[in-house]
Amino acid sequence: MGEKKDYTADDIKVLEGLEGVRKRPAMYIGSTGKEGLHHLVYEVVDNSVDEALAGFCTKIKVILNKDGSVTVDDDGRGIPVDPHPTYKVPAAQIALTKLHAGGKFDKKSYAISGGLHGVGVSCVNALSKKLILEIKRDGKIHQQEYSRGDPTTKMKIIGNATGTGTKITFYPDEQIFSTTTFDFKTLETRFREITFLNAGLKIELRDEIKDTTQEFFSSGGLVEFVRWINKSKEVLHKPIYFKREMNNGAIEIAIQYNSTYQENIFGFVNTINTVEGGTHISGFKTALTRVINDYAKKKELLKNDSFSGDDVREGLTAIVSVKLSEPQFEGQTKTKLGNSEIKGLVDSIVTSALTEFFEENPQVAKKIADKSLEAAKARLAAKKAKDLVRRKNAFSLGGLPGKLADCSDKKSEETELYLVEGESAGGSAKMARNKEMQAILPLRGKILNVEKANPSKALSSEEITNMITVIGTGIGEQFDQAKIRYGKIIMMTDADVDGEHIKTLLLTFFFRFMPQLIEHGHIYAAMPPLYRVRKGQKDVYVYTDEELKKVTAELGVTEGGVTRFKGLGEMNSNQLWDTTMNPKTRKIKKIYIEDAIEADRIFTMLMGDDVQARKDFIQENAHEAKLDI
């Protein structure tokens, strides 16, 4: 991959202007909520990472400033400041004010880039009430200010510079975003990923408000990445790593199996996390299944049968990182790779590299094949268990569990399924509900912890098979989003420790068996009130302790007028409807997976077998817990 060292105004190509970004921001950054807000930071940082990929940047500083702005400062070449040959204004101004403008279209300045579409920094500019650009080039510091996409000052020299680089400080626009508060942990997770994927790059994250600094650096790259993901798990072997250079980029893969029953495959293209997968992941899965099947048949571990894809991926942690000069992403947020040729390339590279590794490391190959064999046995046992459940349910309503109180409306986007803790609360909920659009499935006690149980045990649990049957999508490779029976699936548990535990068990089940339901925004948590405050004939329902103090003070209610609800069963059907089930008055929380890698780590640590890791986590976070007496 040849690089061009000079980066000048001639390299900035313009395709079209900034119209529409402020009108439809979600089209460009995914949302105007927390995700979109953080996407602004990623867009600016991705430009600095592109400089690192091109070999010109070694350190990126990201600062959360006290005034609510964010500064991203790199030591790359600096955006060109000389006049653009066509537009006769500084090239940097074109990059910040034109939608498809950048040095990444002709492949001369950047052989590989994550910010390929050239909309990144101009979108950030359009969605910021103020943006300050500082560029160090040719021994000078150049500065220009913008507001909501338009320059408010001309480019000027404000001092002498040593070295080169680009520094952008932006203030997100409250007219656009529902929140403008950045989350340190969300950024921390993304920056850790970036440094794992770019061995040798240093990123410093500083929060000026909390006076906290975290530095990210990885010399071990992907091998270190899989070790980090698996650190709370019992691993079966050292990471398997291979990399192949190509004319237009490189393919890099790290694999390590652990003793759990979950698969974790994370795909990246030019350091962008492709959460929806794509052709690179398809090619990897196909090759992995074929190589393990071929090995097992050759060693006569398998006779006539074959391992399924699910079998060979049980307990797998893999990172598939592809760096391409011409990636084709589906959608501006770049969550799925579309290049058709990459499937075959990854397939061929994985097939040859993994076959060679198995021949040279027979002990590791045997462990992986044995793991797949156990998974296949468990799959067959689970199939028998599911068939039994199907036969048992055949005499109930249309094959659905008898204790389901279904709704009459069959349009899934308008319907809701309440998963209710306890039979008595389930009874109240059935009386309280809107029968047309709300279905109730009572859960008996705590469901099985699927983090610790193998799939066959999980799928022989009545509560779990009931939920799978009722939701309708199936699980694993058979998951079909189109078959979902309800638009919202709402967990409704008591507002106490047991209720929180049941909610965690349910979330573990969804994350491990049906993560797509969370990703597509179908999973919610009901928020029943903690208190009822009564003044005369008036009842006010209160959802937090802070709100309780405020309400009792406003109403002048003494301590005796506070009822603390410990369980849903303490509420009659009218109260349950008014507080927790009426779409007009209730409060419900939508569940998100902000980062699958971090979510996997937390679920493993909280719900798995590593007691010490859990103890350390509790001690570290105990100060944030509230005592409920």
| Residues taking part in catalysis | 421, 494, 496, 498
Please say whether the beta carbons of 251 and 346 come within 8 A. Answer: yes
Q: Which residues contact 139 (CB under 8 A, 6 or more apart)?
A: 160, 161, 162
Number of C-beta neighbours around residue 44 at 10 A? 26
Q: What is the spatial distance between Cα 95 and Cα 391, in angstroms, rounded to a whole number?
A: 63
Phi-psi region of 563 (alpha: psi -120 to 50; beta: other; left: phi over 0): beta
**How far apart are alpha carbons 509 and 597 in whole angstroms?**
17
Question: What gap in Å lies between CA 458 and CA 51, rounded to an integer?
Answer: 48
DSSP character string of 197-266: HSTT-EEEEEETTTTEEEEEE-SSHHHHHHHHHTTTS-BSSSPEEEEEEETTEEEEEEEEEBSSS--EEE
Shortest CA distance to 29 belongs to which of 101, 96, 120, 97?
Answer: 120
User: 135-146: string of b/e by CB count within 10 Å (b at 16+)?
Assistant: bbbeeebbbbeb
**Could you give the count of Cα atoms lying within 13 Å of 347 in the half-sphere of its Cβ?**
12
* Dmax (CA) of the chain: 82
Q: Which of 84, 44, 78 is nearest to 61 (CA)?
A: 44
Residue type at 44 in one-letter notation: V
Q: Which residue has the tokens 């029953």?
A: 261
In angstroms, rounded to a whole number, what is the distance separating the alpha carbons of residues 334 and 232?
30
Q: Which token pair is 558?
A: 């003494």
Nearby residues of 36 by Cβ (< 8 Å), 6 or more positions away = 25, 26, 29, 30, 177
Q: Are 121 and 168 in contact (CB under 8 A)?
A: yes
What distance in Å separates the CA atoms of residue 141 and residue 165, rounded to the nearest whole number? 9
Asked whether 472 and 480 are in contact (CB, 8 A), the reply is no
State the sign of the Cα–Cα–Cα–Cα dihedral 400, 401, 407, 412. Answer: negative
**Phi then psi dihedrals of residue 159, to 5 deg:** 170, 180
* Triad 488, 408, 508: Cα angle to 5°: 30
Task: Render 563-574 in DSSP notation, one character per residue.
Answer: EEP--GGGS-HH
Q: What is the 3-state secondary structure (H, E, C) of 344-360?
A: HHHHHHHHHHHHHHHHH
Task: Write out the two tokens for 209.
Answer: 């408000």
